[in-house]
Amino acid sequence: MPTSRSEHQLLIVFADITRFQHHARNLDDMALADLLDAYYRFTEDLALRASGQIIKFMGDEFLAIWMDNQIPTGLAALHVIKREVDAWWATHEWDSRLIIKAHIGAAVVGTFGNESRFDAIGNNVNITATLPAHTITLSAEAYAALDAAAQPHWIAQASGAFYTPRADAEPA
């Protein structure tokens, strides 16, 4: 089966919901499935409005990418996505928050498997997945790609290995 794959520079984002399992225990499976379907639709719309694409959902976690020239748009949208997702969960009376891990690097994108599912594969995807995070974490590569005016809104952690938002300011 022929596949269409190519390497691109990507903003790679893993996002996960805090306290999901705690709240999910209180729902029957159908109600949980309906809630996640609504969440998937909501977050897909957020990513698309910011010129990104959610590649896959894994329960309450998702993997999203912004390709090539869309990377600055994606970086600028991370705080908006977090704020809107946090508000969405609050409307459902969940005290859950979105945790975001973001990294920039090359990866292969294209179709994989018997069902030709679109995905991103590569070491930079794995690097993103292993970033520590409590709110939003940017790798050093993602931080370096920020607009110069936004960089002061981030604090270096682990001697500059990654960056987290300053508590007193939201990046522009």
CB 125 within 8 A of CB 12: yes
Residue 171 has pLDDT above 70, yes or no: no
pLDDT in tens, 20-68: 999 999 999 999 999 999 999 999 999 999 999 999 999 999 999 999 9
pLDDT digits 0-9 by tens, 113-148: 999 999 999 999 999 999 999 999 999 999 999 999
Per-residue pLDDT, 1? 40
Residue 18 lies in a domain: yes
Give the per-residue pLDDT at 159.
Answer: 87
User: Would you say residue 115 lies in a domain?
Assistant: yes
Interval 10-24: pLDDT, tens: 999 999 999 999 999
- pTM to 2 decimals? 0.93
> Does residue 151 belong to any structural domain of this protein?
no
Q: In a 10 Å sphere around its CB, with 0-12 CB exposed, 13-18 middle and 19+ buried, how is residue 1 labelled? A: exposed
Does 150 reside within a domain? no
Instruction: Look at residue 167 in the predicted model and tell me its pLDDT.
Output: 78
Number of domains in the chain: 1
| H helices present in 12-167, as ranges | 20-24, 29-49, 71-91, 123-129, 140-145
Q: Are 51 and 66 in contact (CB under 8 A)?
A: yes
Mean pLDDT of the chain: 94
- Residue 15 in domain: yes
Does the residue 160 lie in any domain? Answer: no
pLDDT at 170 over 70: no
Domain harbouring 17, CATH code: 3.30.70.1230
**Has residue 31 been placed in a domain?**
yes
Question: Does residue 100 have a pLDDT over 50?
Answer: yes
In this prediction, residue 3 carries a pLDDT of 61
Q: Domain of residue 64: give its range.
A: 5-142
The reported pLDDT for the residue numbered 4 is 87
pLDDT at 168 over 90: no
**pLDDT for the residue 76:** 95
Instruction: Tell me, yes or no, whether 82 lies in a domain.
Output: yes
